[in-house]
A and B are shown apart, each in its own frame.
Chain A
């Protein structure tokens, strides 16, 4: 009997051990899913796909309460229920986790750690602090109850989506009454950067946040513009920083870079810009006949000369290639000369005739080499033809002699 009791006890223990654990039910999702009010029901549709939900966080992580309680008492403030945060509360609420490096490292060994200090430098945060309820906060850009990580193409802050996300607010309708331009998206989408990013999907092209910052978004100041453009256009910015042009623009209170190139609507720079004649970019400030205009004209002439000699070299090499000649070494010289031309274009930002002249001379030397190679290839081509004709003549004479010998033998 005792043995039977022991056996029954053991069987019961085994059954209990084998029983599946009861699934944890989130009462917030369960209840809100069944509500009629779309405002209260909507979060349950997107939240299962939210990065926070994927990482195991529940509604209670932001809203508090007890998700294990199946009754409305789950939303008892005594159980920590906070409800929906106000607009002003959103950034500090997100920061409570995202600014906590130790907490974020639990999910990512190299986490992005949000900085409230940086956020507070943004125009958005400053206006919010003054009570402006229309400015952006975290959820304005990242979304809510369906937030995707920025690397996800579905995220509104994925690189190619950023300009349209910014334009959701930065448009004439939403910005009515605010002293801020609203043509940025229209200009940007037709700019060299916008076309590259939005039309060609080139994620190396800058979006709004690359120049303005994201969490600390603000218009770059006059002094900062070169720094902003220089993050990508480093060589040009470095040369410009040491140029007399910078000092001149600073004295006039004009920003670097954008004075000549524009900002949101920046276009691919063309060589036609380089002219002090009417229509050229330099003509915007320099009068015809001025010292600056004369200096520019001299550089322009040399620049066009190099372009012309590159074009000549290219034509000669092309002709040689069409005629079946090997032109790789000449093409190598031409490529280097073309690189020098690109170097001249960058070097123009030094506004130093000597410096520009040195690069122009280097390019001209390489271009001469390429031209020389092209000419040599064509000369060689002519020589080959001549050699072929001569060898054919010799061969025909030999054939004639052999045929004559055959005839002689036959006779």
Chain B
């Protein structure tokens, strides 16, 4: 008995073999969009691997954080590469997650029985944003410090729970070394725990229900199924995408190494042109453009409540859309999806084109 057989007998790998053998991926004109879930998962894996390496050197205190990142970037072999890949991969991860989410929306993959898959996906997307927000502060540089200040100030404006939320995040009224330690805790303990649990459920549900076929691509039951085996056909295609992503990361890390900037100084003036990471850009730009008062209501408050309601509707769309994905109601939600994508793209671009402030 060789080692593989020995393990197979003890770990019950036959069941896994069975699942792998049975797993199929539908083939139709929208199959391309199926790869984005795997891409997001791959980039998350890159984040985990590089994050573990970073944590070996990172010291989460206001006195040492910046210096430890500088040490990592200048003294540790390939430290610059690990940090740059971690930072770039974080951005690509959010981008891939967005593409995955919007493609699932447009292909109506959330229809019965995949409502919970959609909800866990939404949760995972929020966790990705939380990872980005908490990780951005960790190098403790000037831009991150003030961007976090602006971000937590905005959270403080959320009705009812805002002040509590802002204090919970900051660990006080101001951004301090305590906030940094707290963000580190969120970034490496609390969020990964939530992510692992939610990701486990999400992947299980994807496996359980199989891939959703969009309404326009459904075939008559009698017709031969157009599909490919997950292993190796789909996985090999996934691998091509992952290798391409790895190449893109190598290119970005070498050509545009992630800057360290100046060490955070709470007493310095906020640097000019502070803007959040691009994936918060559309919200930031919206809040900048809302008049200070709309119909007697504070503009910022209105914007925040609007985002909250928008996210709620977005999460509940499996229950609002037509169950079969056809008809006027389905068309309406398709138009909503297109408008949402246009809004995100246009408002994100406005941040970088110096849109109205």
- Taking beta carbons and an 8 Å cutoff, which residues of A are in contact with B? 324-326, 328-329, 384-385, 387-388, 391-392, 395-396, 398-399, 402-403, 405-406, 409
Contact = CB atoms under 8 A, between A and B. Distances in A.
B259 interface: yes
Contacts, number: 55
A118 B257 CA distance: 66
A391 B250 contact: yes
Contact of A396 (B70, B80, B233, B247): B247
Nearest to A385: B254
Given A406-B237, A409-B233, A326 B73 contact: yes
B233 A406 contact: yes
Contacts of B240: 399, 402-403, 406
Contact of B260 (A326, A406, A409): A326
B159 interface: no
Given A402-B239, A402-B240, A406-B237, A324 B257 contact: yes
Contacts of B80: 326
Identify whether the interface residues of A are mostly helix, strand, loop, or mixed. helix
Contacts of B251: 388, 392
A384 B247 CA distance: 14
Nearest to B252: A388
Interface of B: 70, 73-74, 80-81, 232-233, 236-237, 239-240, 243-244, 246-247, 250-251, 253-257, 259-260
B244 A399 contact: yes
Contact of B243 (A324, A395, A405): A395
Closest 6 CB pairs between A and B? A388-B254, A395-B247, A324-B257, A391-B250, A384-B254, A399-B243
B250 A388 contact: yes
Contacts of B247: 391-392, 395-396, 399
Contacts of A398: 243
A324 B259 contact: yes
A406 B233 CA distance: 7
A193 B253 CA distance: 50
Contacts of A385: 254
A402 B233 CA distance: 10
A387 B257 CA distance: 14
A106 to B, nearest CB: 39
A396 B244 CA distance: 8
A387 B236 contact: no
Contact of B236 (A328, A396, A409): A409
Given A324-B259, A326-B74, A384-B81, 16 more contacts: A324-B256, A325-B257, A326-B73, A329-B74, A384-B254, A384-B257, A387-B254, A391-B250, A392-B247, A392-B250, A395-B250, A399-B240, A399-B244, A403-B240, A405-B232, A409-B233
A405 B243 CA distance: 15
A402 B243 contact: yes
